[in-house]
Amino acid sequence: MSGRPEHQAPPEIFYGEDEARKYTRNTRMMEIQLVMSERAVELLCLPENQPCHIIDLGCGSGLSGETLTEQGHVWTGVDISSAMLGVAKEREVEGDLLLGDLGQGLPFRAGAFDGAISISALQWLCNADQKSHNPAKRLYTFFSSLYGCLSRGSRAVFQFYPENSSQVELITSQAMKAGFTGGLVVDYPNSTKAKKFFLCLMTGGQQPLPTALGVDSREDAPNCVTFSQK
């Protein structure tokens, strides 16, 4: 268990000055982040050749934001680690940056964004880092505020590292309660190394989930788990 960063310290402490710089200088980490960011943007199904305004949730030092910039989009990043945002500023990323705790909700106007991405951040919200923290309440506050600031018909895509199935259930139940439909896409489900979980949330009613990568289309059903409003 201790190998998981979220079990070692709260994110704003774990990603202090040293870790923030180390994370951004690690070429392997940067490559993984790039691949996951590109996949998350692909799963957003944005209109072609049209710049969109995307929110990057848990944006860190701006690695995923760079993917958005390269694809012609405008973005706003939110992160709880001031050290990570400091590195993002040093790197002169194109996005607007905001220091904030996702579990306290997002302070944006209704319909401000055309989509949302998040890389490796969602599982942190399942932790109770303070006595006052209730993970289910924090997830609901986060998802409700996200639902509010997304334009109708848009999507939010979260790459995350679930610890177990009950954590997936906790996250998806709070997302549904906040109004989202969608489901889980598991890329390369048979590979220990390449397996990646993407939670695809939709604001405009149930839509077909994208096909997972690395699966035979005839057997992809277990790798795309859909949920909808009761």
Range 104-107, long-range pairs (CB < 8 A, 24+ positions): 104/138, 104/141, 105/141, 105/142, 105/144, 105/145, 106/55, 106/78, 106/142, 106/145, 106/146, 106/148, 106/149, 107/145
Separation of alpha carbons 109 and 226, rounded Å: 29
Under the banding of pLDDT at 50, 70 and 90, the label for residue 150 is very high
Which of 4-8, 92-96, 133-137 has the lowest average pLDDT? 4-8
Under the banding of pLDDT at 50, 70 and 90, the label for residue 27 is confident
Under the banding of pLDDT at 50, 70 and 90, the label for residue 7 is low
Under the banding of pLDDT at 50, 70 and 90, the label for residue 50 is very high
Comparing 109 with 5, the larger pLDDT belongs to: 109
Task: State residue 220's pLDDT score.
Answer: 47
Under the banding of pLDDT at 50, 70 and 90, the label for residue 208 is confident
Take residue 205 and report the two structure tokens written for it: 């009613």
Share of the chain above pLDDT 70, in %: 81
- Region 164-176: what's the mean pLDDT? 94
Comparing 158 with 3, the larger pLDDT belongs to: 158
Task: State residue 167's pLDDT score.
Answer: 92
Under the banding of pLDDT at 50, 70 and 90, the label for residue 58 is very high
- Region 93-122: what's the mean pLDDT? 96
Task: State residue 136's pLDDT score.
Answer: 95
Residue 121 predicted with pLDDT over 70: yes
Take residue 49 and report the two structure tokens written for it: 């050749």
Under the banding of pLDDT at 50, 70 and 90, the label for residue 29 is confident
- Region 144-166: what's the mean pLDDT? 95
Task: State residue 1's pLDDT score.
Answer: 38
Nearest to 38 by CA among 198, 182, 221: 198
Under the banding of pLDDT at 50, 70 and 90, the label for residue 98 is very high
Go through the domains of the chain in sequence order and give each one's CATH number. Answer: 7-202 (3.40.50.150)
Which of 11-15, 35-39, 55-59, 66-70 has the lowest average pLDDT? 11-15
